[in-house]
Amino acid sequence: MRILIASSEVHPYSKTGGLADMAGALAKYLALAGHRVGVVTPFYAKIPEKFPTLRSSGSSLKLMLGSQEISAEIRTLEPAEGLTIYFIHQPDFFFRASLYQQDGIDYDDNAERFVFFSKCAAHLAQHLDWKPEIMHAHDWQAGLASLLVHHRRTREGWGTAPKTCFTIHNQAYQGNFPAFKFGLTNLPWDYFNHRGVEFYGGMNCLKAAIVYADLITTVSPRYAREIATQAFGHGLDGVLRERQNVLVGILNGVDYDEWKTAGNPFLPHPYSVDSLDGKAQAKRDLQRQYGLPESEQAPLFGTVTRLVDQKGIDIQLSALEEMLAGDMQFVLLGSGDAQYERAFQKLAARHPSKVGVRIGYDHALSHRLEAGCDFYLMPSRFEPCGLNQMYSLRYGTIPIVRATGGLDDSIIDLTEDVDLANGIKFYDYSSRALAKAIRKGLALYGNRELFAHLRTNGMTADFSWERTAERYVEQFQRAAHK
């Protein structure tokens, strides 16, 4: 098939979270399966540093954004056969210190930046010579692209318009802006009503996509059910229920070319399910790097995360405070809300021989932390898919997760299936329930046979992208032939 993907972040070019991993891997594996794939994404300031050979394609575009005409250059890269990345080079919008916000505050022109980005995606869908059959947009930043294609198809006679698929990676982020920003779309105002893009008097980019996309997917089957309920819907559950006939949950995959324990440039000591010495060495290296005693016996827990409410940081902090009285160590790599950053730093100051904290973003360290820990903590309040629990499985690190969204779909607890168990799950959103799960981890650590059983199940589990990409193609085909 011919597929154009639109995503505001794409690994290895830009990333704040799992969206980047997902969009980058989906594009790569669709192309590997023989499809013609394009990815449209912003050209951010750090990209030319990492990819200095990237040149201008010589093409550019000029689009109206409300009353202003904005131009952008299109830079292209062909990282693999059948795969072209179309970078939108608009330095006023995208050459910034970070992708969406500074010092925890969203850029005040995010509506302009991402309405423009969505327009570029719709424009490419219409004008690329290879004529995409599917335009696959991700998250609110690309949400309006679905509406733009719908509009041109139904009101401007674009007979060969692609079918649109929209993937919800996180229903909590919706791209809400004041009503007047709808003018940036240059679309008729009759879309701006409660059955369209209007939401409590403002413009909602996620809602636009949910209402107008031909197909909606989200990143795990359980999250697909959750977001259609009031408890997880963030106000859009009713709109989703109306579109439930086109909503599908597909669990993300893992790019095992990158997340691997042997031949990985970030892991100096390779290991495998049959030979775990390299993992023991990774643990010692990690303990040293975090200034903790290099003890093989002390069970080492870890987390790599955005420090935001979604991730269950509040219950994690209190459960750790309680559990650190015992013999265990904990290491964190994360950044986000200043209050959480401070709270972890204080925890480390109170328990210097048991807790190590790195505030920041560090791709290499994220691999080393996954490899060096015995247990990975992911007590999310909600989790559309979650990737780190699946990375942990492959790295032989036992995940301890709350049973929500993709965490529930990917982790099997001993109480569910003794033979297939690969982690520890807890249910209540409370520090008590998490502390109890950590206690279970400590007991498991003392039972080497059972521990090895779970670890082997995890390391041999298969969440490969080949299979996941096929599921997307099945859905694309269904949509294309409707």
Q: Cβ closer to ligand ADP: 90 or 305?
A: 305
305 scored as a contact of ligand ADP (CB under 6 A): yes
Selection from ligand ADP, ligand GLC, none that 312 binds (CB < 5 to 8 A by kind) is none
363 scored as a contact of ligand ADP (CB under 6 A): yes
Three-state secondary structure string covering the chain: CEEEEECCCCCCCCCCCHHHHHHHHHHHHHHHCCCEEEEEEECCCCHHHHCCCCCEEEEEEEEEECCEEEEEEEEEEEEECCEEEEEEECHHHHCCCCCCEECCEECCCHHHHHHHHHHHHHHHHHHCCCCCCEEEEECHHHHHHHHHHHHHHHHCCCCCCCEEEEEECCCCCCCEECHHHHHHHCCCHHHCCCCCCEECCEEEHHHHHHHHCCEEEECCHHHHHHCCCCCCCCCCHHHHHHCHHHEEECCCCECCCCCCCCCCCCCCCCCECCECHHHHHHHHHHHHHCCCCCCCCCCEEEEEEEECHHHCHHHHHHHHHHHCCCCCEEEEEEEECHHHHHHHHHHHHHCCCCEEEEECCCHHHHHHHHHHCCEEEECCCCCCCCCHHHHHHHCCCEEEEECCHHHHHHCCECCCCCCCCCEEEECCCCHHHHHHHHHHHHHHHHCHHHHHHHHHHHHHCCCEHHHHHHHHHHHHHHHHCC
390 scored as a contact of ligand GLC (CB under 6 A): no
Selection from ligand GLC, ligand ADP, none that 219 binds (CB < 5 to 8 A by kind) is ligand GLC
Name the residue with the smallest CB distance to ligand GLC: 18
313 scored as a contact of ligand ADP (CB under 6 A): no
* Residue 364 C-beta: closest distance to ligand ADP, Å: 9
22 scored as a contact of ligand GLC (CB under 6 A): yes
Selection from ligand GLC, ligand ADP, none that 305 binds (CB < 5 to 8 A by kind) is ligand ADP
283 scored as a contact of ligand GLC (CB under 6 A): no
* Residue 473 C-beta: closest distance to ligand ADP, Å: 22
Which one of 7-15, 16-24, 29-37, 268-276 is the stretch in contact with ligand GLC (CB under 6 A)? 16-24
d(CA 282, CA 214): 47
Q: What is the total count of residues that contact ligand ADP (CB under 6 A)?
A: 18
CB-count exposure of residue 221 (10 Å: 0-12, 13-18, 19+): middle
17 scored as a contact of ligand GLC (CB under 6 A): yes
Selection from ligand GLC, ligand ADP, none that 388 binds (CB < 5 to 8 A by kind) is ligand ADP
183 scored as a contact of ligand GLC (CB under 6 A): no
Q: Cβ closer to ligand ADP: 147 or 387?
A: 387
194 scored as a contact of ligand ADP (CB under 6 A): no
When binding is defined by CB under 6 A, the residue of 278, 334, 356, 399 that contacts ligand ADP is 334
384 scored as a contact of ligand GLC (CB under 6 A): yes
When binding is defined by CB under 6 A, the residue of 9, 21, 226, 341 that contacts ligand ADP is 21
Which one of 12-20, 154-162, 425-433, 460-468 is the stretch in contact with ligand ADP (CB under 6 A)? 12-20
Give residues with Cβ within 8 angstroms of 274, minimum separation 6.
none
Radius of gyration (Cα) for the chain, nearest Å? 23
d(CA 121, CA 137): 9
Q: Are 360 and 210 in contact (CB under 8 A)?
A: no
When binding is defined by CB under 6 A, the residue of 24, 175, 386, 396 that contacts ligand GLC is 386
Q: Cβ closer to ligand ADP: 20 or 115?
A: 20
Q: Cβ closer to ligand GLC: 22 or 149?
A: 22
Nearest to 164 by CA among 10, 322, 5: 5
373 scored as a contact of ligand ADP (CB under 6 A): no
385 scored as a contact of ligand GLC (CB under 6 A): yes
* Residue 37 C-beta: closest distance to ligand GLC, Å: 18
392 scored as a contact of ligand ADP (CB under 6 A): no
* Residue 91 C-beta: closest distance to ligand GLC, Å: 26
When binding is defined by CB under 6 A, the residue of 3, 4, 5, 19 that contacts ligand GLC is 19
Site for ligand GLC, residues 405 to 434, rule: CB under 6 A: 406
388 scored as a contact of ligand ADP (CB under 6 A): yes
Q: Cβ closer to ligand GLC: 16 or 477?
A: 16
Which one of 2-10, 358-366, 449-457, 470-478 is the stretch in contact with ligand ADP (CB under 6 A)? 358-366
379 scored as a contact of ligand ADP (CB under 6 A): no
Nearest to 425 by CA among 369, 376, 368: 376
Distance of CA 421 to the CA centre of its chain: 25
Q: Cβ closer to ligand GLC: 148 or 219?
A: 219
Q: Are 86 and 6 in contact (CB under 8 A)?
A: no
454 scored as a contact of ligand ADP (CB under 6 A): no
Applying CB under 6 A, the residues found at the interface with ligand GLC are 17-19, 22, 169-170, 219, 252, 383-387, 406
